[in-house]
Every structure is written in C-alpha cells, then in structure tokens.
C-alpha cells in the first residue's frame, strides 16, 4: 500500500519526508504493540489476492488517558469515504477501549483531515509557528464517539 501513496500523501501522514525503506515502515505498521496500539486496515480483492488500500492507527499514551489517531489512504482510494469510515471506527474503538480522549496532529494543508474531524466535532487548534493543526475529541462514557450526542 505504501508504494501506492504519493510522496505528498506520505508527507501528509508522517509530517516529514519518508527517507527510510518502505518495507521497514510497513513492518513497523504490521506489528503493533497490543497494550498501546490498535491498527486497522481496509483492503480490496484485487485479482487473486487482497490489496491494502488504507490504514488507521490509535496509539495510546502509557496511562491510556489519550490516544493519537493517524490515517493513511492510498491515493487511488482517497475521496471515497474511507477516511470517514476509519475515523468513525477508531472513535468507537477508543470509547470501547476506555481511552477518554482522541488526538490528531497534521499539516494545515491536509484539508481532508480537517473536514473529517470538524464533522465529528473535534476541537481544533492551529499552531502557525509549528506549522501544525491539532484536533482533540472526548470520547468518554458521556460523549457520543461520532459527536452527534
């Protein structure tokens, strides 16, 4: 899947130029720490084998008071609802996992992520000095994971 992503998509996800081997990066993604990470993939049947077209991660801090949310969708599958679906699943999982807050940090140019998170009522802030946008959402028992309650 990583080879199906443009440099721009990889930069948007990792907020840096990806210089390491894509194989090494893929291996990192495929072996999450079950105590602190949840990783989700979207795949399609492509001929006789499945092809991964998107990946989302929740990475909890040591006290499980917050989890960072990250998302990457292969270029050919962007703008088709995968980012929204991943976000909804991750918010539900964080809620069920008992992590009360989900946070995301991304580049200001990542308008797709901004729209997805704003639609789910994330509190957004921009740090122009750091050139980053941050979002956070409470997903505790009194909150609806999708933000509609």
Q: Is residue 148 part of a domain?
A: no
Across the range 122-144, mean pLDDT stands at 83
- Asked whether residue 92 is domain-assigned, the answer is yes
Residue 149 lies in a domain: no
Task: Tell me the pLDDT tens digit for each residue of 51-103.
Answer: 888 889 999 999 999 999 999 898 888 899 999 999 999 999 999 999 999 99
- Tally the C-alpha atoms within 13 A of residue 100's C-alpha that lie toward its C-beta: 5
Q: How many domains does the chain have?
A: 1
Taking residues 121-139, report their average pLDDT. Answer: 90
Does 133 fall in a domain? yes
Q: Please state, in angstroms and rounded to a whole number, the distance separating the CA atoms of residues 5 and 7.
A: 7
Residue with tokens 């750091």: 130
Higher pLDDT, 23 or 136: 136
* Residue 149 pLDDT exceeds 50: no
Angle, vertex CA 38, rays to CA 41 and CA 68, nearest 5: 105
Tell whether the model's pLDDT for residue 7 goes beyond 60.
Answer: yes
Percentage of residues in the chain having pLDDT higher than 70: 74
Percent of the chain with pLDDT over 90: 43
Dist. CA 82–CA 86, nearest whole Å: 6
Report the alpha-carbon distance of residue 53 to residue 44 in Å, rounded: 7
Q: Give the domain CATH number at 85.
A: 3.40.630.30
Residue 147 lies in a domain: no
Tell me whether residue 47 is in a domain: yes
CB-CB contact of 61 with 70 (8 Å): no
Tokens 């309650």 appear where? Answer: 149
76 near 90, Cβ under 8 Å? no
Q: What pTM was estimated for this model as a whole? A: 0.78
43-49: average pLDDT: 81
Domain carrying residue 66: 2-138
Q: Which residues make beta-bridge pairs with 133?
A: 106, 126
């Amino acid at each position: 899947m990583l080879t199906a992503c443009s440099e721009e998509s990889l930069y948007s996800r990792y907020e840096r130029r990806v210089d390491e081997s894509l194989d090494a990066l893929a291996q990192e993604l495929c072996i999450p720490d079950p105590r602190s990470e949840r990783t989700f993939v979207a795949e399609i049947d492509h001929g006789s084998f499945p092809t991964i077209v998107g990946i989302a991660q929740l990475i909890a801090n040591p006290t499980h008071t917050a989890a960072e949310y990250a998302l990457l969708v292969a270029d050919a599958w962007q703008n088709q609802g995968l980012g929204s679906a991943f976000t909804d699943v991750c918010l539900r999982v964080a809620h069920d996992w008992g992590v009360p807050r989900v946070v995301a940090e991304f580049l200001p140019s990542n308008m797709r992520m901004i729209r997805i998170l704003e639609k789910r009522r994330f509190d957004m802030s921009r740090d122009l000095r750091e050139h980053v946008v941050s979002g956070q959402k409470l997903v505790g028992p009194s909150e609806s994971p999708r933000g509609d309650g």
